[in-house]
Amino acid sequence: MKKKTLKIGSLFCGCGGSDLGALGGFKYINTNYKKLPTQISYALDIDQKAINTYNHNFKHPAVVGSVTDVKLIDIPDFDILIGGFPCQSFSTVNPTKNPFDDRGQLYKDMAKILKKKQPKAFIAENVKGLMVLKKGEIFRSVLKEFELQGYRLSFQLLNSANYGIPQRRQRVFIVGIRNDINKTYKFPSPSFNESPDNNQKNWVPLKHVIKSLVPDDEKYYFSKRAVEGMKNAKKNMKRGLWQDLDKTCLTITSHLAKVSLNSRDPVLLVNPEKELYRRFTPQEAASIQSFPESFEFVGSEADAYRQIGNAIPPVLMWNVMKQLLETLNENVVQKENKQELAEA
């Protein structure tokens, strides 16, 4: 029996990492991530530059706008809502940020749309810090808000490295299925696991996406002054977090264009004797985030770095979405088929 194609509504879509994963039909590190029975019916983001990239890569155009200001009547119906609501307010790196600012309230706008549209399910994503800030108070508020809209929730902290991505990126996913469907979502089992002796042999190493330590353009090297600054910095600031190509990478962030050797961001050590360090190229950063090589970023390199760092890794979303579709197919599609037979 042919599976029904489910429509996707995408909030905070950015450049489209989540949407690419929700659709499938791409290749990454010699693995084909099959096309899923989905289509995008609506996509929204406030960042015009990210939308430029999105519309360059997808058939269905995204629109520029704020989720707070969008009129519900202008949003077409959909079966599944996805969205990585902005996470800057929930960062544990900068504890001085106010978690209750306007950006920290955007999950309520997502909940408002859930209440009105009542899709079969939704997938929300955010940083690990959301779960622990204010001793979990904020996270409990988010869960309650989604539950009140009529959804049975499942949540789990997922590590991208466990799903074939050469990056140790931990993000919390919240998946809700409408109560009347009477089904509980179970997260996909990891396809890759960190080995017991912690040498990461079972994770995909960085060398699968970094083709050469030596960059094509010297502009990616850090200056001698930057290297000396790292060496002379206070001990608590010394970073120089160069990545071993035989292991996975630290989390790719949105500010790689301005990365320094004294930051928490990952870098590459090209030549230890000459003390040559460099940052990742945009293409390398995109590959670490599991974007296929066919995905093209529009705008400046700084724009690309920001869009890449803010994105949900497509391969990770594909795994989460595939599991959700299989869960819904067991109930929703069969239920609809029975209804069609009854009407006949």
pLDDT at residue 329 in the model: 86
Q: Domain range spanning residue 189? A: 6-195+312-343
The pLDDT of residue 96 is: 52
Pair (213, 284) in one structural domain: yes
Specify whether 25 is located in the same domain as 172: yes
Establish if 239 belongs to a structural domain. Answer: yes
Q: How does DSSP assign 132-154, residue by residue?
A: HGGGGHHHHHHHHHHHTTTEEEE
| CA–CA separation, 222 and 271 (whole Å) | 12
Nearest to 160 by CA among 132, 188, 196: 188
Active site residue 87: yes
Same domain assignment for residues 177 and 318: yes
My answer on whether 140 and 261 are in the same domain is no
pLDDT digits (tens, 9 = 90+) for 314-331: 999 999 999 999 999 865
Q: Which amino acid is at 334?
A: Q
Asked if residues 29 and 164 have their Cβ atoms less than 8 Å apart, the reply is yes
Report yes or no on 296 lying in a domain: no
Question: What CATH number should be reported for the domain holding residue 162?
Answer: 3.40.50.150
In a shared domain, residues 140 and 242: no
Average pLDDT over residues 218-227: 95
Q: Using an 8 Å Cβ cutoff, are 14 and 52 in contact?
A: no
Tens of pLDDT, residue by residue over 77-123, are 999 999 999 855 544 445 555 455 445 688 999 999 999 999 999 99
The pLDDT, as a whole number, for residue 344 is 37
pLDDT tens for 244-264 read 999 999 999 998 888 889 888
pTM: 0.90
Cα separation values, 239 from 46, 200, 214, 229, Å: 34, 22, 21, 11
Work out the average pLDDT over 61-68: 96
pLDDT band at 287 (very low <50, low <70, confident <90, very high): very high
CA distances in angstroms from 109 to 69, 136, 177, 331, listed in the order given: 9, 21, 18, 28
Strands (E), the chain: 6-11, 26-28, 31-33, 38-45, 63-64, 80-83, 121-127, 151-159, 170-178, 268-271, 276-278
Q: Are residues 143 and 211 in the same domain?
A: no
Assess whether pLDDT exceeds 70 at residue 208. Answer: yes
Query: Could you say which of 13, 15, 87, 249 is catalytic?
Result: 87
Residue 341's pLDDT is what? 35
pLDDT for 339? 41
Per-residue pLDDT at 295: 98
Q: What pLDDT does 263 receive? A: 87
Q: Is 125 helix (H, G, I), strand (E, B) or coil?
A: strand
Is the same domain home to 245 and 133? no
Considering the domain architecture, whether residues 190 and 220 belong to the same structural domain is answered as no
pLDDT for res 260? 86
Task: Specify whether 253 is located in the same domain as 317.
Answer: no
User: Averaged over 208-222, what is the pLDDT?
Assistant: 95
Q: pLDDT at residue 343 above 90? A: no
Same domain, 89 and 128: yes
Mean pLDDT of 281-299: 97
Instruction: List the Cα angle 144/147/148 in 5-degree steps.
Output: 85
Tell me phi and psi for residue 270, to 5 degrees: -80, -45
User: How many C-beta atoms lie closer than 10 Å to residue 299's C-beta?
Assistant: 16
- 338 and 256 part of one domain: no
- Rg of the chain on CA atoms, in Å: 21
175 within 8 A of 320, measured Cβ to Cβ: yes
**Residue 176's closest CA among 143, 201, 202, 199?**
143
Structural domain includes residue 156: yes
- d(CA 148, CA 150) in angstroms, rounded, equals 5
In a domain, 293, yes or no: no
